[in-house]
Amino acid sequence: MGNRINRPRSSTLATSATDDAIAEMQQTAGSAAPGAGTSAGRSSAATWKAFQSLQHLPVRRSAARLLVETGPLPPGPIALDSTGHVSDFLDPGEHKELRLVNRDARSIGAQRYTDLKVGGDMPLEKLAPMLQGLPNVTHIRIADTTNFGDQELAVIARQDAAAGGRITHLDLRDCRELPDKALALLKDFKNLRSLNLQNCRKLTNAGLAHLKDLDGLESLSLNVCRVIGNTGLGRLNRLVNLTSLDLQGCEGVTDAGLKHLEGMQKMQVLSLRNTGVSNAGMAHLGKMDQLRSLNLTLTGVSNAGLAKLAGLANMESLKLANCYGIEGDGLRHLAGMGRLQELNLHNAHDIYGTAIEHLSHLTALQRLNLSLRAILDNDLVHLRDLTKLESLFLNGCYGVTDAGLANLAGLDELKSLSLRFTQVSPEAVEQLRRRAITVEY
């Protein structure tokens, strides 16, 4: 590779001072060579100083390319790149070239990585050196989960402990062979804030006892860990800093288990989708006044349960899909949720007419799912005041026709409308699309 540089198209913006700086870079970078001693060091420093003087971004971009194109360079210019002054201007291919011509660029590239996806079939002897070579990784995701078990997790735990506790996010989803005893290794992750154990099928209530000392944990997913139940929740009650807990599909979780969550007063996001909870358990959730997102899809919650949630004024997202016991005027219990932005009532039950009127006061709503068979054209009049609405689902509303859509004319923020299995005509759909609304039909 020769000493060439790609000039920016708008050359008039490249001042004579900038041209001089580039010329100096070409000279010093070209003359410097690895192992050149003091002379190389001075050349490296001059090259770096010249690069720093470039203020016009397209020219800096070209100068960064120059470091690649001049061939082998001494470590100086690149070693000073800890803030990414050079590497920020290179695309992935150029990063690869830079690593070939300058050995220090390898460590710079490693420093830029904060997220790591680890194959579960990686040999143990390679796992530790790889982690050592990536000093700034804070997020780890296990990608190929077939063979990942407690031995592999032990390697990561030891490496993190030796590094002083860098790992903050550990994603072990779908590690189906991970046994309870592996969770004992998590105590070595001193700064762990997020733990994903979704679909780790071998985990039981006993294994959750190993999480009790992770007092910095803020997010925990036990999604589809089907054998986890109330006993397991009791072993989590010391995790008072949790702000997010996903228990979706934990079929052993019932109303009695929710008592263990009462002390988690920082909880903001809670998913109980497809669990065994019902109205009685809502009394415990009603005391968690920091809740902002609650998923009760496919649970036994009815009007009586909603009454116990009425005081959750910080609620922003509430999912009640397939809660067949919600009917009539049960929605009046949502009146105090003035911050509610998302409400899902898909296939709830007999919600129509005056029941829909209770939604007219929820003026912060942005996403609303009213995919209910009983909805008619006249019911949509109660949506006129929801001027912040961006997304509306009316799938399966067989009584909705073109006439009903007239009630949506004033919803200027509406961007997405789902009208599958309605009586709306193709002509009306075309009119909606002219308003730049994405329509599913």
pLDDT digits (tens, 9 = 90+) for 185-200: 999 999 999 999 999 9
At residue 376, φ and ψ (nearest 5 deg) are: -120, 170
pLDDT of residue 141: 92
pLDDT in tens, 261-293: 999 999 999 999 999 999 999 999 999 999 999
Whether 132 shows a pLDDT value over 90: the answer reads no
Q: Tell me how far apart the alpha carbons of residues 339 and 317 are, in angstroms, rounded to a whole number.
A: 9
Q: What is the torsional sign of CA 166, 240, 237, 244?
A: negative
Helix then strand then coil, in percent of the chain rounded to 5, is 40, 15, 50
Q: What is the pLDDT of residues 405-436, one digit of tens each?
A: 999 999 999 999 999 999 999 999 999 999 99
Half-sphere exposure for 203 (CA within 13 Å, toward CB): 32
Does the pLDDT at position 108 exceed 50?
yes
CATH number for the domain running over 216-348: 3.80.10.10
Percent share of the chain, pLDDT over 90: 62
Angle at 304 between CA 303 and CA 310, to 5 degrees: 85
Copy the structure tokens of residue 306. Answer: 């909603």
Provide the CA 306 distance to its chain's centre, in angstroms. Answer: 29
Query: pLDDT higher for 104 or 374?
Result: 374
Is pLDDT larger for residue 250 or for residue 50? 250
Split at pLDDT 50, 70, 90, the class of 106 is low
Kindly write down the DSSP assignment for every residue of 322-380, as one continuous string: T-TB--GGGGGGGTT-TT--EEE-TT-SS--THHHHGGGG-TT--EEE---TT-BGGGG
Q: Which CATH architecture has domain 113-203?
A: Alpha-Beta Horseshoe (3.80)
pLDDT at 199: 93
Q: Averaged over 79-94, what is the pLDDT?
A: 49
The SS3 of residue 257 is: helix
- The pLDDT score that the predictor gives to residue 107 is 55
Q: 353 pLDDT band (50/70/90 cuts)?
A: confident
Pick 49 or 160 by higher pLDDT: 160
- Tens-place pLDDT, residues 41-78: 455 555 545 444 444 444 444 545 555 455 554 444 44
pLDDT of res. 211: 97
Residue 16 pLDDT? 45
pLDDT band at 109 (very low <50, low <70, confident <90, very high): low
Helical (H) or strand (E) element with 8: none
Residues 6+ apart with CB under 8 A from 16: none
Q: Do domains 113-203 and 366-441 have the same CATH topology?
A: yes
CA dihedral (345, 348, 353, 358) positive or negative: negative
Rounded distance between C-alpha atoms, residue 85 and residue 83, angstroms: 6
Q: Where are the domains positioned within the chain?
A: 11-110, 113-203, 216-348, 366-441
pLDDT mean over 113-131 = 76
Burial class (CB in 10 A: 0-12, 13-18, 19+), 18: buried
- How far is 180 from 58, CA to CA, in rounded Å? 55
Assigned fold of 366-441: 3.80.10
Q: Evaluate if residue 136 carries a pLDDT over 90.
A: no
Q: How many residues does the chain have?
A: 441
**Which range is least confidently modeled, 4-13, 110-119, 241-250?**
4-13
Res 76: pLDDT? 45
Q: How confident is the model at residue 149 (pLDDT cuts 50, 70, 90)?
A: confident
More confident residue, 25 or 288: 288
The two structure tokens encoding residue 221: 């997913």
